[in-house]
Structure 1
Amino acid sequence: MKHNIEFDNRIWGSAIFDRIAINTGLGFSRITGNLEIFTNQNEGPDFIEWMQLRCQWQARGRNGKEVLLGTGQLWPDRFSSKKEVSISNIQVMLDLDYSRMAALEQLRDGHDIYFKLHLDGWARRGRHANPEEFRLDCQSHVPLSEWLKRLDESGYKKTLLLEIPVPDVQKDEALSRAAGHLEMAQRHLLNGHYRDCVGACRDVVSAIDFIEFSADKDRDLRGVTEGIQRKASDLRSKDERIYLLRNSFKQIAHAARHDDRLPAENESSEGRGNALPFSWEPEDARLAFSIAAALYRYSYEMKGGRNGG
């Protein structure tokens, strides 16, 4: 369904909002859609620059009940269109946590789902014209069969919910810093920046180390690790085993914050002139994020228990 874009009661173009898809991660889902902007070839100006675009997502379910889902993202959020190039494709995205995704399913109530996109921003009609504010409302209808197919493809029903508490920054700055790194890791994972995701997960564990040892700033963490490793495995305490797990993961993720290279075959670790690069794949980032989230949650609960909170 086309939706007209009007200026001064004249139609300068139209838009279609469709191709709804779902990608599911650890405790969140990303809904994406495609927005096609069509320039009016007859009456529109030769050049339109669209800028500072923002979008709000809304859903309508059974019996016409509607709910505001939140502010989404657009890519690109600024572009230009010309008469000779009639179509511009914009990707619109919205991240929902598990509870909001469940609320969306409750709104759908076993029927079709309708998504509304409220778009606003500024447009310059002509290269030297002043920008004008505009608004555009689009709707996309997703039939029940199509929505169920998208849910199945995304693995939504197979997703395990992991709640990640976010502490009050004024009460616990260190934990809040770790939570911020975890949020950044999730953002990198969603955007396909897998190396940056693993690097942010490494920062999560570094922040947890600060929490554990901030009371003893002169403590040699390497000495702590070596001391635990020298112990017989059956003599290590639970906390010591968890510490070794955390330290091992930190060693894995450490490379994403430095030179991601391995020595070439038959080359010593000291000689890195012919080092071979290695890449971070989606499964690496998902594994790193899962471990970092679990370690953060454990540290949060242990610290809360020690503080009586």
Structure 2
Amino acid sequence: MTISIVTSNCQILADVYQIQVNGLPGLGGYTLIINLHCTVRSLETQTFLRHLVIRVDWGGEEQRRIGFAIPEQAQPIQISSSGQQTLEFRLALTPQQLEAIEARRNGGDFRLRIWLTGEVTQGGNIATITESGEHHIRQQDWIEALERMEYRRSLLYEVPLPDQESGAEPAADIIGKAQYHLLRGHYDECVAECRKLFETYPLSKEDEAQLGRAREKFSGGRDGKESMDIPERLILLRDAIKHATHPAHHNHGRDSYSRDQARAILAAAVAMMTCSGFAGPGHIG
């Protein structure tokens, strides 16, 4: 991408040679950090940037606005006489926005379009900045930013995830692998990890017996279904979610899971495995 900062007499002050993305966790949201690394030309006059704002859009043919960000530094910002200078911007993202980005990214690389606006002042001369360019975001760079945002610590609908510190180390490891595959677009592998979760935490003998009774009632027509109590319905739901993970092990290339399907199964599996309605080893927590 090429973004240049130009004076009122069309002299190039600086060129943006690299853009880096990073992340920070927020309270009820996320913070995307965008660093513009600039090469500054030799300057003879004190130069300042003011009223700087960047607009961040989804890149490519279908541009969609993501948001606006102002510099982390106080303005006006003095430009160094020569060498390198970094402008850091912070963009607040809601969980819905980040999820929309992830849905469009679909496990791969993507592009952001950056619009830089503001003013350059040199003495009494003022020039307006209106520059834009697209930047390619590599999958690995974005995943690292997501991790710093703590995006992987929860799934959509705020399903709490177990971790090693809670004593559920096997579950935390399996869920971490499932999320790893989900972020990289490996959806069949994500669902396969979900099945491992059920296999690692099997039902107790008591719950297995209850599952048998629930299956009989469910297959016994309307009266049988209506007679099922809440634990029976939950344990049947758990069994159905486990069954939904089977194609990941036995599809033999016939079909594959989509991102939405893998995400739904992962969220449902974690929610069901942390449900307090089961006794014995079938419950995490």
TM-score (norm 1): 0.45
TM-score (norm 2): 0.48
